[in-house]
Amino acid sequence: MSFQLNMPPSAIGRLARSEQSVGDGDNKKQSREDWKKMKELEEARKAGTAPAMQDEEGKDINPHIPQYIMQAPWYFGANTPTLRHQRQQEEMLKHYSGLNTQMKKGFKEGPVATKYRKGACENCGAMTHKKKDCLERPRKIGAKFTGDMIAPDEVIPDELDYDFEGKRDIWNGFDPREHQRKLQEEYNKLEEAKQAMKEAAVEEDFLMKQAIVEKKDSEADDEDKYAEDMDMPGQKFETKQRITVRNLRIREDTAKYLLNLDLNSAYYDPKTRSMRENPLNGTNKEHLLFSGDAEEFAKKQLFAWEAYEKGTEAHLQADPTKLELLHREFQQRRENFKQTAKDSVLNRYGGQEHLEAPPKQLLLAQTEDYVEYSRHGTVIKGQEKARVKSRYEEDVYPSNHTSVWGSYWKDGQWGYNCCHSLIKESYCTGEAGIKAQQESSNMLMIAGNHHAAAKSDVQNQSDGDEALEAEEKHQKRMSKLMAMDERKRPYNSMYEVRAPTEEEMEAFRMKRALEEDPMAAFLSK
């Protein structure tokens, strides 16, 4: 690998003409010896015996790099060995603003001018805008004529060009100190409100005690005195203990973005902590309050409060199992007490018959139940259909039978189960009829077997005769084919795919000519 100048033909011509004018007029070309020395130098550099070629920055160039990679194009204008054309050019790189680079807003530029400058705003005297774009209050006499109170120049920030991450940085320009300042202001307001509430409560307590001392009334616990305006559900509290405003979240508190976990629901912006849309669209607040076990939950909460006021430690959230057992026991005892009181009143005064009210159909002589009847009076639609009854009379056994018709089934026919008779309205023969029917069926079975055996013998005899006839025809055809010329004989004319039957094999054995048989020659004549 060696460096060779790669120039356009016009530059090569100008260089040749300049060398001819400077030199003796001979066109110098690379000789064979020079080319051979150049190749030897390349081999030595690849072997490591000669120092590597260096670029314009003094860095070694790998001698194993191919020539077409190291050779710079003619339009690059490289006069020395270099690999700069293979690297990214600094002037071609696009520079982006950093993530921490922010646009300055509201800053004034430099010192304030003392007199009006040409081309400045006629109203305030700033050089960065004109009179129609001025945002200051319009002066009665502008700074152009008075030369007083010249406004400072605004800082015109450079246009920031962010990269992919910078364009999608939602916290760009966010100042946490400003956020902390807002939180501190809100906290100070809350503390001031708490202090005002405490002072008002102390003053109210003092006035109340003064009034009690003046009137000298009996001491009474005013439960509403220290209670809050609204009681949070599921919260255990002491009526005589002052409850102040707390910042703790209770377990029933659910974040707004957790009410609906559907991805297509309302969007929650974590930066501004805002949710513009309703996450529970299509449902009102009352529907959520009174859905599910809300009513049962309210009853249990009320029971827990009442039990706590009467000295029983019960809490819905802290010990729900204990509260559930107490509530069940309370319900059972209350029902038993009501039933006992009702029974005692009925036993003492009577009147049980008046509590048994007649049906609504008889009481009001009408009903709203829709019933549709057929032409025969049966119910078609409107209420539960009655069971389909049999058309035969029940518990009626004619002709000395002990079972009804249809209690026995055999060979697709109905009969009586008591005698296995398949004839309707026949006289019952009892067990004797069953035995006679079994014997007749056995006789029929034996006769059928004999008939089948005789039929099978006749069938076998006929099959054997047919096989003998077929074998004779086959031998005649075979002898006819063997008498024909071999070239005129059909190909595979006697071939069959299926296996021979027993009858065919027996016919073949009977018709086969045995060579050891002394009568074979006589039969062939």
pLDDT of residue 521 exceeding 90: no
Residues 6+ apart with CB under 8 A from 468: 507, 510, 511
What's the average model confidence in pLDDT over 11-32? 70
pLDDT computed for residue 224 by the predictor = 47
Mean pLDDT across 424-431 = 86
Helix (H, G, I), strand (E, B) or coil at 410: strand
Percent of the chain with pLDDT over 70: 78
Per mean pLDDT, which range of 38-47, 327-336, 473-482 is the poorest? 473-482
pLDDT reported for residue 356: 80
Q: Model confidence over 484-506: pLDDT tens digits?
A: 887 777 765 565 667 778 888 88
Residues 6+ apart with CB under 8 A from 274: 268
The per-residue pLDDT for range 143-196, each reduced to its tens digit, is 999 988 899 888 777 778 888 888 888 888 788 898 999 999 999 999 999 999
**SS3 of 268, please?**
strand
pLDDT for 122 equals 93
251 or 160, which is more confident?
Answer: 160
pLDDT of residue 228: 47
H-helix or E-strand spanning residue 464: helix 430-483
pLDDT at 156: 76
| pLDDT score recorded for residue 283 | 66
Instruction: Look at residue 131 and tell me whether its pLDDT is greater than 50.
Output: yes
Name residues whose C-beta falls within 8 Å of residue 221's C-beta, 6 or more positions apart in sequence: 239, 240
Q: Is 508 helix (H, G, I), strand (E, B) or coil?
A: helix
Question: Which one, of 153, 155, 3, 166, lies nearest residue 70 by Cα?
Answer: 3
Determine the pLDDT at residue 284: 64
pLDDT per residue as tens digits for the range 411-424: 888 888 888 888 88
Proportion of the chain above pLDDT 90, given as a percent = 20
Residue 344: pLDDT band by 50, 70, 90 thresholds?
very high
β-pairing verdict for 413-415 and 408-410 = antiparallel
Q: 158 vs 31, which has greater pLDDT?
A: 31
**Sequence ranges of the domains in the chain:** 9-92, 118-155, 357-425, 433-524
Cα distance between residue 283 and residue 275, in whole Å = 17
pLDDT, residue 326, reads 93
Cα–Cα distance list, 285 to 167, 244, 249, 288, 291 (Å): 40, 28, 21, 5, 10
Segment 28-53 mean pLDDT: 87
Q: What is the mean pLDDT of residues 366-385?
A: 76
Contact in structure between 376 and 384 (CB atoms under 8 Å): no
The mean per-residue pLDDT over the stretch 49-75 comes to 89
Sign of CA dihedral 51, 52, 56, 59: negative
Residues 198-221: what's their mean pLDDT? 80
**pLDDT of 252 above 60:** yes
* Stretch 383-404: mean pLDDT: 72
> Closest by alpha carbon to 506, among 476, 474, 471, 456?
471
More confident position, 450 or 161: 161
Average the pLDDT over 239-265 and give the result: 68
Query: Per-residue pLDDT for 225 more than 50?
Result: no
